[in-house]
Amino acid sequence: MAHTPTKGRKLLFTLIAWTIGFLIFFPILWTILTSFKTEAEAIASPPSFVFFDWTLDNYVEVQERSAYFRHFWNSVVISVGSTVLGLLVAIPAAWSMAFVPSKQTKNVLMWMLSTKMLPPVGVLIPIYLIFRDAGLLDTLTGLVIVVMLINLPIIIWMLFTYFREIPGEILEAARMDGAGLRSEILYVLTPMAVPGIASTLLLNIILAWNEAFWTLNLTAAKSAPLTAFIASYSSPEGLFYAKLSAASTMAIAPILILGWFSQKQLVRGLTFGAVK
């Protein structure tokens, strides 16, 4: 018989969960609050949490200085483009490993995952030289490709996990009804795995949006996304904390809004197949 937790235990677990959630969110909250302070208040000791002179001057200056919307559009193109391109590659790859397994499937999956263990700086020089010779430096096309490649192992792993939960008999029935490989993937497999594909898409958009290493090293100005937009507020003269916080808030706001409105779909996809 399943054990039913008492009200006290539920309350305790709820308080613990809210405490952990607040601790995780606190740096973001502090960044947002700092963005409304003056530079003097931003470095004041002891710091003021709420009772300070609120101002929007930092946001005005950041927009005038850095052309926020141009960087925002670059981030949208890079994150959405790399994720969609990754799904086009990962769905057939995950299908083949989930429904046409071989003795090497686990080894291939582990090899793909091992590529995430290599520090990015270890392959910076060869990729930089390839991009330079191919004319892809400081281009959105180049960034879409490189961000797709670094997130591709995660996309394939997640889709493979979701696809494994789909009964193979359904695909066999589709084949018996005359469905070809293309129809099987597009009209049978993909609709059944929509929750998993949606959560994979959302998670990888977030990862691509926050990618800083490659966007800082492979761009200059024309294709710079919001990560480069934030980095521009670290200068030899020092850190301007209030303006840096305003730039950071403007960079994370779109992804926070996306995560807020898609949280149900994201949780549903991440728990897809967890209960049989």
Q: Please check whether residue 243 is in contact with residue 30, taking contact to mean a CB–CB distance below 8 angstroms.
A: no
> What's the token pair of residue 182?
């293309």
Domain-embedded: residue 74:
yes
- 154-170 tens-digit pLDDT: 899 888 888 888 887 78
User: What's the angle, vertex CA 4, arms to CA 3 and CA 10, rounded to 5?
Assistant: 130
Band of residue 99 on the pLDDT scale cut at 50, 70, 90: confident
Confidence of residue 238 (pLDDT cuts 50, 70, 90): low
Are 187 and 104 spatial neighbours (Cβ–Cβ below 8 Å)?
no
DSSP 101: -
Asked, for residue 218, whether it belongs to a domain, the answer is yes
Q: How many domains does the chain have?
A: 1
pTM across the whole model: 0.83
Q: What mean pLDDT comes out for the span 202-212?
A: 89
Q: What is the CATH number of the domain that holds 209?
A: 1.10.3720.10
Question: What is the number of other CB atoms lying within 10 angstroms of the CB of residue 218?
Answer: 22
In this structure, the number of other CB atoms found within 10 A of the CB of residue 183 comes to 14
Q: Where are the alpha helices (DSSP H) in 177-240?
A: 181-183, 190-192, 194-210, 213-217, 226-231
26-47 pLDDT, tens digit each: 999 999 999 999 888 888 888 8
Is residue 227 situated within a structural domain? yes
Given pLDDT bands bounded at 50, 70 and 90, which one contains residue 127?
A: very high
Provide the domain limits for residue 187.
Answer: 67-232
In this structure, is residue 32 part of a structural domain? no
